[in-house]
Structure 1
């Protein structure tokens, strides 16, 4: 299964990595990155983990206590990463972002 990153997913991943670096250190950024790419490898196998959202074919998975990834199953061969979300942010903003994707 192919996993593509949207521009928003890439930007939000970078933003979250920078946030972790500022708040903690490079070791924590590396741990976060490892968790993300391990999860992506699981998605590539076709095993859909996580819970569904209010949007069709869209799921979320808690990567770490502070970060959740949102992704969409496009078809049986493609998954699209949508967004990395810092769980401390306002959920109303999250819903607005997801609705506009």
Structure 2
């Protein structure tokens, strides 16, 4: 099962690390406690839209870009875990047997 809070946390953490920035730096700029930001990055807490906007601003990233990346990751995770279904002939179709 795909959880958006986990995907969001991964995107935020990856963005922060790619910028070479610390949790302390982002938490100070976003006015959120370091512990709470860490929980968001680990997918343990949900970020409100206001808090997410503040974190995105601290990262210098548009929220739309962050949410697009979250959606793409969720899509990949869903596809990877989706069961494979094979088409089944309906009763009205002629079924040819090789027997």
Q: Give your verdict on TM over 0.5.
A: no
Structure with bigger strand share is 1
Structure with bigger helix share is 2
TM-score, with structure 2 as normaliser: 0.31
Larger radius of gyration: 2
TM-score, with structure 1 as normaliser: 0.30
